Amino acid sequence: MGPYRTYATHGTYTGSREHTRSTTRRRHVRPIRNPQSEIRNSEFPLAPVLLFTLRVPENFISKTLDAPPTPFDISLRPPMFNEFAGQEKVCQRLELMVLAAQQRGDVLEHILLSGPPGLGKTTLAYILAHAMGVNIKNTSGPTIEKAGDLAGLLTALERGDVLFIDEIHRLQPAIEEYLYPAMEDYKLDIIIDQGPNARSIPLNLPRFTLIGATTRAGMLSAPLRTRFGMNCRLDYYTAEELQKIVLRSAGLIGLQIDDAGAHEVAARSRGTPRIANSLLRWVRDYAQVRADNHATRDVADQALTMLDIDRDGFDEMDKRLLEALIHKFEGGPVGINSLAVSIGDDPGTLEDVHEPYLIMQGYIKRTPQGRVALPAAYRKLGMEAPKREGDLFGG
């Protein structure tokens, strides 16, 4: 499966298929984004632009995890703790905080939620605001570019309201400095003007709760991290927990799915609810067209196979990563940049999206020298792992 991308080539079109094919081979072919603009701005005004479309493969997993939440995703978010499956210890701590704050008539402590993408950090922030009966304002670290942006968000809050900052590790250092007194003393000092005319205007803020979410807790500065009253780390879900999520989501979208079908979707979701819901949406479409809107295990298997998601939750890019590591670099060790170039992907995407799952499942490992393929990776490709002296392979 993949998006469609438009390409252009210049030449004189005679109306024949043979000419189109020969022109395409002979001329420079390149992708374009705006076909109409390409035609208007052509450097060959007498030669029409030939447009054609090809299907381009996509990376399903990274697209699902990197994309902003869709209305479909938001509609499936549980509104209360008793509907939230998984992360039991985290939910118990947060529920206790809510009850304690309500009994004191106080506001919640500042909370930091960390963990891989797609595990429910944003959902928990909204559940906390709902449990406290307060409003929540949602923003992200990269969008707060100036102190005035932060001041506008904070001054619009009322007592007890929640300010949720996603990707908080991407806040600029200057913005962090403004955030420290706001979190500790509920005050904000805004600098007006410059040079000798510069002056500070203190603003008193209502007591609020800051909930930060990050996929890279190690990139947070120590002063910011220590100002959170509670630090919660979210881990990957088990197949049984994801099965509950799939069954609940299927009921919300009107899909009839049995336990075996739900488990099939859950087992291929890489321990991530966002991926599970995305796969479920595809299974719903497949079942609606080919299975009378009823998803059994076989139907789910056929749907996900059509999407190139195998029984281990691998998509095309995961398989290409293992193939490159084993065939091109003889099982490693190899640096992340070389590995990324070899498969045409970004090093950050490999580190944040693909590697955590492959390491967790025992397919690869990180060493000071680079990435190394483990025996499970060779078995995945139907190969026998070589014996290496002084390594975990034995020998």
Place of tokens 């398989």: 319
Catalytic site includes residue 215: yes
Catalytic site includes residue 214: no
Catalytic residue of the set 121, 270, 284, 320:
121
Structure tokens at 206: 């209502």
d(Cα 163, Cα 160) in Å, to the nearest integer?
Answer: 10
Catalytic residue of the set 9, 23, 209, 215:
215
Catalytic site includes residue 274: yes
Catalytic site includes residue 122: yes
Q: Are 206 and 157 within 8 A, CB to CB?
A: yes
Structure tokens at 40: 């208007």
**β-pairing verdict for 187-192 and 162-166:** unpaired
CA-based nearest residue to 128, from 152, 169, 171, 96: 96
Catalytic residue of the set 77, 274, 371, 380:
274
Three-state DSSP state, 290: helix
Catalytic residue of the set 73, 166, 301, 315:
166
d(Cα 261, Cα 247) in Å, to the nearest integer?
Answer: 9
Q: Where are the beta strands (DSSP E) in 172-229?
A: 187-192, 199-204, 209-214
Catalytic residue of the set 122, 209, 214, 272:
122
Catalytic site includes residue 346: no
Q: How far is CA 292 from CA 27, 256, 287, in A?
A: 48, 9, 6
CA-based nearest residue to 378, from 364, 367, 392: 364
Instruction: Provide the annotated active-site residues.
Output: 121-122, 166, 215, 274
